[in-house]
A and B are shown apart, each in its own frame.
Chain A
Amino acid sequence: MAEITKLIHKYLRHEKKFPHVWCPGCGNGIVLGALIRAIDRTGFSKDEIVLVSGIGCAGRLTVYVDFNTLHTTHGRALTFATGVKLANPKLQVIVVMGDGDATAIGGNHFIHAARRNLNLTAIIVNNNVYGMTGGQYSPTTPYGARAATAVYGHIEQAFSIAELAVTAGAAWVGRGTVYHASLLDQLIEQAILKRGFAVVEAISHCHTQFGRRNRLGGPVEMMRWQKEVAVRVEKAKTMTPEELKDRITIGVLVDRELPVYTHELRKLREASQAALGAK
């Protein structure tokens, strides 16, 4: 059997849940592929993985994979994941969110999850738009772009998700694109293996809602754009700010050792047990 067919049989709810809801050519399928390849490489069993998602096109990912899956409410996936991880720290908890999901309605949860440094993996599929609800602007819609709620061009400035995660204190932050699929596999694998809060921003495309309105072409043209604007972080270090303007750095942005929440919690338990025991 071809490698990919094996993975499909092993990880997808292939008999139950297909065809999927996504538009043909959507980047979400590539993220799904990268995720199962990465998980397969980490060697965790399906029972050990809890995949949590929010609401949106990206959020639909959980339904297709044969893990413990939890499709939550819009923006709140990280809060549910926090409870899962704390109740059973042995579980590997991976969270998939859209850009609106993670940084608009869920923005507060996102920065606090990063600050708290619980051992979670957050994958944010950034397609610069609210795909599921029909193409309204999101916190990553670029200034001037058109959206269903910005027909004359968007008047707000965009968030950079990966940089936001770095500033909020995430232990590990990486960014990839769905064009650079094998890099995305590696980033997700590293993020899962990292002890601490790890964020992967996956730059994706929504040709249906964002591409069409902004005359960016179909999936092929939009992925070509990803190829052209992306620059590896290692190379970016040698470039001037002018050269880096309108470019997107991909690779590992931050990898740092920070106190892990569950570890701190264990110490706290010991301290409180000692205190109560002593009376």
Chain B
Amino acid sequence: MTANLTDPTNQGRPLLLQGNEAMVEGALYAGCRFFAGYPITPATEISEVMSWRLPAVGGTFIQMEDEIASMGAVIGASLAGGKAMTATSGPGFSLMQENLGFACIAEVPCVIVNVMRGGPSTGLPTHVSQGDVQQARWGTHGDHPIIVLAAATTRECFDLTVKAFNLSEKYRTPVILLADEVVGHTREKIVLPPAGTIEVVERIRPTMPPEWYIPYEDNLRGVPPMGIFGDGYRYHVTGLTHDVRGFPTERPDEIVPFMDRLFRKINQHFADIQMVVEDLTEDAEVLVLAYGSVARSAKRAVREARARGVKAGLLQLITLWPFPRGLLEPHLRRVKAVLVPELNRGQISREVKRVNQGMTRIDTLNRIDGRLITPAEILDRLVRM
């Protein structure tokens, strides 16, 4: 391992990186300077690489006593000014849920990577799965908005980590980046972009005199400027439902506007948040809707189907939540059928069906045995659809 301890950035030459390693590079590129985590397969490499990459750029890596603590430390670090991240897999992701909700209600930017493995419980530690898609949406209790992205390649691991930080800073929200065992562990060629070539967003900070600062006051964007501990804007941060000053409230006339704003700040920015990749969809008659590692198999299957005369296309979801309904609906109106292959028992297909409302036929293809859905399996379905 020691032989590897060289700074891989800014060398302009192609590297062979795992998805997990690319996420570290993406985080550093985005300005992440704090990582707290707890080892777990198949996400461990992220902690390991962070442990020597972060100190070298003046950042902090800490291995906490568990994932609950990791999530708490990440929130604390973000409140004190740092871009902060953690990475885990299913069991650890479950432990993070309570503090994840804290980050939602207190509007603390942070990035949580979940490299999915088979579940429930300890499940299939070394095998691929997409079983945490609904958990990523609803894992923490209570009504809350959340942003969840899914990466399929090493390059996407890099790009979407930067994007996850950007969205979390812009909208003051935790952002979950889902990868899976295949994406996390596959080594692929990547040329890391030079500094300054990809947009990096910083949170908006208050500029008014501190005595005028109302920490949770609404504005047009729905995202209040964020004071940082120590910068002179002393305020109260709590997981209790709070008024615009941050103090606990039980008054309906304060609760409702607060909750409304929490959702509005995401909902009114769908165009910025919701991302898909359209691949041969223009004239497609059958559409494959996939995300994560399965999108890779689908990409190949779609091409092979076309070679056999089936007009297939792929809609790859980058943003899983908020579900990109608006980007999907035009396809639903047009195509003969949609196939949703995924490594769970239908966690996104149920969402597709909800949106579909009878517009077209929705077929599913599911695997929950810890194995990737192959191009051949998808092709087999496409030619028979």
Contact = CB atoms under 8 A, between A and B. Distances in A.
Contact of B234 (A46, A108, A271, A275): A46
Contacts of B56: 269, 272-273, 275-276
Q: Chain B CB within 10 Å — which of A80, A90, A272, A273 has the most?
A: A80
B73 A83 contact: yes
A243 B117 CA distance: 58
B230 A73 contact: no
Contact of A276 (B7, B36, B79, B247): B7
A86 interface: yes
A88 B80 contact: yes
B68 A79 contact: yes
Interface string B101-125: 0100000000000000000000000
B75 interface: yes
A70 interface: yes
A6 to B, nearest CB: 19
Given A63-B248, A269-B55, A276-B5, A82 B62 contact: yes
Interface in A76-93: 76, 78-88, 90-91
Contacts of B240: 71
B365 interface: no
A47 B55 CA distance: 27
Interface string B192-221: 000000000000000000000000000000
B252 interface: no
B58 interface: yes
Interface string A52-77: 10000000001100111111110010
B322 interface: no
Given A63-B248, A91-B80, A269-B58, A79 B69 contact: yes
B300 to A, nearest CB: 39
B82 A87 contact: yes
A109 interface: yes
B78 A83 contact: yes
Nearest to A267: B55
Contact of A83 (B76, B230, B237, B248): B76
Nearest to A83: B76
Nearest to B69: A79
B15 to A, nearest CB: 15
Given A265-B55, A269-B55, A272-B52, A47 B79 contact: no
A48 B230 contact: yes
B81 interface: yes
A279 interface: yes
A224 interface: no
A50 B70 CA distance: 19
B267 interface: no
B161 interface: no
A48 B52 CA distance: 30
Q: Chain B CB within 10 Å — which of A66, A68, A279 has the most?
A: A68
Given A68-B234, A88-B81, A109 B60 contact: no
Given A71-B237, A76-B72, A84 B65 contact: no
Contact of B65 (A71, A85, A87, A112): A112
Nearest to B236: A69
B60 A86 contact: yes
A82 B73 contact: yes
A109 B232 contact: no
A147 B53 CA distance: 51
Contacts of A269: 55-56, 58
B165 interface: no
Interface string A142-175: 0000000000000000000000000000000000
Given A87-B81, A279-B6, A80 B55 contact: no
Given A73-B72, A88-B80, A88-B230, 9 more contacts: A50-B230, A52-B76, A68-B230, A69-B235, A71-B236, A84-B79, A85-B76, A112-B65, A279-B6
23 contacts: A47-B232, A68-B229, A70-B229, A71-B237, A73-B102, A79-B99, A82-B62, A82-B64, A82-B72, A83-B34, A83-B36, A83-B73, A83-B76, A84-B76, A87-B76, A87-B78, A87-B80, A109-B65, A109-B68, A109-B72, A112-B65, A265-B55, A275-B56
Interface of A: 16-17, 46-48, 50, 52, 62-63, 66-73, 76, 78-88, 90-91, 108-109, 112, 265, 268-269, 271-273, 275-276, 279
Interface of B: 5-7, 33-34, 36, 52, 55-56, 58, 60, 62, 64-66, 68-82, 84, 98-99, 102, 229-232, 234-240, 245, 247-248
